[in-house]
Structure 1
């Protein structure tokens, strides 16, 4: 199988609003935009896609079975700094930083209830 990239799709109610949220958190601009589908180029072979229109009126009460993981190169100090930045921005924090065996991590949610984990990179 030949692939050009892997796109992780996150279902959202409002793609432009979600793109502003993720763009602010990630410090980047979208690489592709339509009214209902927006992507971010995360590096060679990896994109984050935000798609609305397929699942209108998503409820934060709906259990999410996947999460976006932001893998960072820095150690616990960088993770704590990101945690504090996100708290200051009003991001919903689901689980404060803790060590879960592979290193420190914390869990947040986007405005649609999708989970975002920050963890050490590989």
Structure 2
């Protein structure tokens, strides 16, 4: 019997297939569930990250409004400033859009990138 996932964090995207490829490559993960507009990855037991291109009640695809201000972030926590700097250099070399270069904030050394739809991805130290 399958165990349900109690936590799924959904990121709205304009193209689920392209976004899944972006996140899969960026985070070195593979999907555990795939459909044309919804693709999920297991981050840890019971926790999933999913990309969804959405649809309305009539089955029409509803793309996210990229002009909207993003009010949440996906955060990848790493163990040290050196690891954060290495991830920054790696992502920059791959052409990932960097929103904020590494800087020291209240929780430590951090930077912010964005996916193709403008969803924010923060890299920060482990709490």
SS of equivalent residue, structure 2 residue 31: coil
What is residue 80 of structure 1 aligned with on the other side?
A: 85
Q: Does 1:97 align with 2:102?
A: yes
Matching residue of 2:11: 10
Asked if the contact 1:6–1:45 (Cα under 8 Å) also holds between the matched residues in 2, the reply is: yes
2: CA distance between counterparts of 1:86 and 1:37? 25
2:53–2:63 CA contact under 8 A, matched in 1: no
Gaps of 5+ in 1: none
Give the drift of 1:57. Answer: 3.5
Residue pair 2:11, 2:50 contacting (<8 A) in 1 also = yes
4+ residue segments displaced more than 6 Å: none
Deviation at 1:5, TM superposition (A): 2.3
CA distance in 2, matches of 1:10, 1:89: 21
With normalisation by structure 2, the TM-score equals 0.87
Task: Name the Cα RMSD after superposition.
Answer: 1.5
Q: What TM-score do the two structures reach when normalised by structure 1? A: 0.91
The number of residue pairs the alignment matches comes to: 119
Q: Please, which runs of 5 or more residues in structure 2 have no aligned partner? A: 56-60
Larger radius of gyration: 2
